Structure 1
């Protein structure tokens, strides 16, 4: 009985220590105004590290979809962005969507694309698309 109580007390102490470290919401030390930017910043960092080695074809597709969704929602902020902003970036997003579909198709058939294609496709890398998030 004494050993059982000692073990229970020992494990209770261990649990208290672990809970004091892991039970604290670490994100609460970040000021509230920066919390909405944590997810995009982490995605930009992860994407740019991957993009350093290569821009994946599926990533081109997903990034172009993200751009299109972002600019589609920007249409509702027309007065803020103005027509020149929307026309230029609508073209940019649409070209990205075409490039993304080409990339996805070539990935599906196990084909490859030219170096020129991948050079242009860098404009739809995670780093570039992530930066657009902050200007929405």
Structure 2
């Protein structure tokens, strides 16, 4: 009963392959309307980097992922040290919101 994933029996393969990215889009649209947290920024930049590493990523996506990794590491370090970041940093974080990253994973 617990030796296989139930979801693999319910959803078609094409949907299972996109479920992670679709989940990011859903979370982004429902939760991150005005603000993207620092830990979320880090997780999203890791997600786009992993996608770019294993996909035939175009140069613009590689650059977006590389910049994002720097942004994500700054966000994580700031969170760990409990230091606030300037307001403009949170505007940059919107570019790495779950919805944006999820859509980019879906289309590339």
TM-score over 0.5 for the pair: yes
TM-score range, shorter chain: 0.7 to 0.9
- How many residues are treated as equivalent by the alignment? 101
Matched, 1:110 2:82: yes
Shift of 1:53: 4.4
**2:3 maps to which residue?**
none
Q: Unaligned stretches of 5+ in structure 2?
A: 1-6
In the superposition, relative to structure 1, how do residues 66 and 38 fare at CA in structure 2: closer, same or farther (>3 Å)?
A: closer
Equivalent residues of 2:35, 2:94 under 8 A apart: no
The alignment's TM-score, normalised by the length of structure 1, stands at 0.64
Q: Which residue of 2 aligns with 1:60?
A: 41
The correspondence for 1:70, drawn from 45, 51, 62, is 51
| 1:1-136 correspondence runs (5 A) | 28=10, 33-74=14-55, 77=56, 85-86=58-59, 88-136=60-108
In our comparison, the structure showing a higher alpha carbon Rg is: 1
| RMSD, aligned CA | 2.1
Greater RCO (Cα-Cα under 8 Å, separation 6 or more)? 2
TM-score by length of structure 2 reads 0.79
Q: Give the structure with the larger helix fraction.
A: 1
Shifted more, 46-55 versus 93-102: the winner is: 46-55
